[in-house]
Amino acid sequence: MHDKPPEGPAAADPTTDDTALGTLLAAAHQRCRQAFNSGLRAAGIETRHFAVLRGLAQHGPVSQRELIEMLDVDKSAMVRIIDELERQGLAERRRALHDRRAYAVRLTAEGEQRLAAVQEIAVPIGRELFGWLAPKDRERLVTTLRQLADKPAR
């Protein structure tokens, strides 16, 4: 029967077993996140804060809703992240000009300075994690990850 998933040693082969592939991707994600968190801890932030700071630097000021959509972060998690960034003086919420009921989130001057310092920490970490990839392999990885990220959930 070909309907059953592979058993034995083949069951752990991510080239043939979708579950093993998912587990491998989760392990790679965890390793990368740990490496970034470990390095960024010295600057008083984590990867999740860094992603929001970068998003604000590139697109801000923006509403929390826009940040949630851009970064694909859970609403309650985004509220916590922004609260934490505000407590550190790195970001602030202000009334949106176009909608007085909404708030726009923006980087503070201190947030811009911290982001610049964190970039200097993050670049060598990224280089260590991914710099060894040949350009074609990197391009293929990026394409595949974008396809996974863009695939609608069931």
40: nearest Cα among 126, 147, 153: 126
Distance CA 71, CA 51 (A): 8
* Per-residue model confidence (pLDDT) at position 40: 94
Distance CA 149, CA 74 (A): 15
**Positive or negative CA dihedral for 146, 148, 153, 154?**
positive
Asked whether residue 12 carries a pLDDT value surpassing 90, the answer given is no
pTM for this predicted structure: 0.82
Residue 95's pLDDT band (boundaries 50, 70, 90)?
Answer: confident
pLDDT (tens digit per residue) in 110-144 = 999 999 999 999 999 999 999 999 999 999 999 99
Higher pLDDT, 60 or 14: 14
